Amino acid sequence: MKLKEYLKKLIPTLQGNLIVIGLEDSEINDMILHSTKLNQCYFLDSNVKEKKSKKEKKTYRLGKDKNIPVKKFRKTFKKKKTDTIICNLKDMEQYLNRFVKDSVYICKGKLYYYGSKRRIQNSNLKERYQRYQVSFEEVELENSYVLVIDLSKAKTRWYKEWYYTVHDAIGRATDLIGDFLVN
């Protein structure tokens, strides 16, 4: 089974609010728009670089006019207001440190990451989400790999989020120092 077929089977089963990040297939986007079970659908498809005071800021386009910076996902989507998130890992890979916390905060249902198997395993998604006591399901397809994370029983506390943020930053710093010393 291919990713497109998997998503075609998945979309009729979805209910409530949906956030789609990085899905570029117009046929599947039309299926999502015409689904009667979905209340609200947010398509954060295109990466747009917006110039703001000498810096380029990474944003995602919501509809035609509104851009959402990655740092403002929490503020935009509110706590546990989204039922499902479908995310292309290639688009969110550089923001995973922040997006893992934010996805647990805003989603009360399931989170679907899709991409290549190697990319999903290298990003340590399972290790990052196991901190929140969630369950995983892995679906291997012909041309891609889907990681389904059930966030309905996720437990978060502000001090745990702060601790893991510091822990991850120190881990990344030691990796960088180690790579620098080896080279």
Map tokens 């979309």 to a residue: 11
For the chain (183 residues), the mean pLDDT of every run of 10, in chain order, is 88 90 84 86 62 48 61 82 89 83 90 88 85 90 90 87 90 92 90
pLDDT of residue 109: 92
Beta bridge partners of 113: 87, 147
pTM, to two decimals: 0.83
Residue of 9, 16, 55, 65 lying closest to 37 (CA atoms): 16
pLDDT of residue 146: 92
pLDDT of residue 50: 45
Residue-wise pLDDT for 37-59, tens only, equals 888 888 886 544 444 444 444 54
pLDDT of residue 93: 81
CA 108 to each of CA 10, 77, 149: distance values in angstroms, whole numbers, following the listed order: 17, 12, 11
pLDDT of residue 110: 93
All structural domains of the chain with their residue ranges: 3-157
Contacts of 138 (CB under 8 A, 6+ apart): 145, 146, 147, 148
CATH of segment(s) 3-157: 3.40.50.150
Contacts of 119 (CB under 8 A, 6+ apart): 89, 90, 93
Q: Within the chain, where are the H helices?
A: 3-10, 26-33, 73-77, 89-92, 96-106, 117-122, 125-130, 158-182
Biggest alpha carbon–alpha carbon distance for the chain: 56
Angle at alpha carbon of residue 142, lines to 141 and 144, rounded to 5°: 60
